[in-house]
Amino acid sequence: MRVPRVSTCCCGCTLETGTITIGWLYIIFSVLTIISGTLDLMAEVIEPPQITNTSIPMLFDSLVSSTTDLPIPTTTDLPIPITSDIVISAFTALFGVIAAAITLIVSIMLLIGVNKRIPKLFNYWIVFEIIVLVMGVLDGIITGTMSIINKTTPEGVGTIISVLIWGAIVAYLIIVVYNFKKKIQSDNQRV
């Protein structure tokens, strides 16, 4: 399969300018994702959801006589159970931080490749983004389809449409970077 050829980026700028812009935008978004994901992860670990069951103090009231000097435990004295929701939220935040860190690394490598004219460094970004693109589109289609099956059709259709638009944008960015890589390779062969 041949990759489509483009000679300019989005707004008519050169492939080099487009690739540099793509690299910097990915770096900015990666740093923001790492910060927000870390804060989410810290919130899940440091301050997990509180128990809201008001019947627990009443249970202890009936067990412990008010005439004894023993303190009656409150909901904050009890250990907080680890639920599957907490575990899933923590793993989701951790996965997001790891993916953003990898994106940050490959984006820095992309910018170094542009600056030093080393096309080999483009490959890491291109391969990683293809993996993210395929996984993201599959996840969005599966999630949207499950929403439709569970009778939330507008949400499911919206998910599928938005993931396909996102996928088209990411595919175009990959094509821009790939074409600039090919341009550098041909320029290097002429020298």
Q: Which amino acid is at 30?
A: S
- Residue 188: the pLDDT is 86
**Cα separation of 39 and 28, whole Å?**
17
Check pLDDT > 90 for residue 162: yes
Query: Which pLDDT value is given to residue 59?
Result: 45
Provide the pLDDT confidence category of residue 150 given band limits of 50, 70 and 90: confident
Confidence at residue 41, expressed as pLDDT on a 0 to 100 scale: 82
Which has more confidence, 114 or 51?
A: 114
How far are the Cα atoms of 54, 80, 87 from residue 49, in angstroms, in the given order?
15, 8, 12
Question: CA 184, CA 113: separation in Å to the nearest integer?
Answer: 10
Q: Whole-model pTM?
A: 0.77
Of the candidate ranges 20-29, 34-43, 62-71, 109-118, the one whose mean pLDDT is the lowest: 62-71
pLDDT band at 55 (very low <50, low <70, confident <90, very high): very low
How far is residue 56 from each of residues 49, 85, 109, 110, measured CA to CA in Å? Answer: 16, 21, 55, 56
d(CA 184, CA 191) in angstroms, rounded, equals 11
Phi-psi region of 68 (alpha: psi -120 to 50; beta: other; left: phi over 0): beta
- Mean pLDDT computed over every residue of the chain: 84
pLDDT at 72: 54
For the chain, the domains span 15-63+84-190
**pLDDT above 70 (res 47):** no
Q: Which has the higher per-residue pLDDT, 72 or 188?
A: 188
Residue 145 has pLDDT above 50, yes or no: yes
pLDDT at residue 164 in the model = 97
pLDDT recorded at residue 69 = 57
pLDDT tops 60 at residue 126: yes
Residues 6+ apart with CB under 8 A from 120: 113
DSSP for the chain reads -PPPP-SB-TTS-BHHHHHHHHHHHHHHHHHHHHHHHHHHHHHHHHSPPPP--THHHHHHHHHS-TTSSPPPP-TTTSPPP--HHHHHHHHHHHHHHHHHHHHHHHHHHHHHHHHHT-GGGHHHHHHHHHHHHHHHHHHHHHHHHHHHHTT-HHHHHHHHHHHHHHHHHHHHHHHHHHHHHHHHHHHHHH-
**C-beta of residue 179 within 8 angstroms of C-beta of residue 6:** yes
- Give 151 or 178, the one with higher predicted confidence: 178
Tokens at 73, concatenated: 């435990």
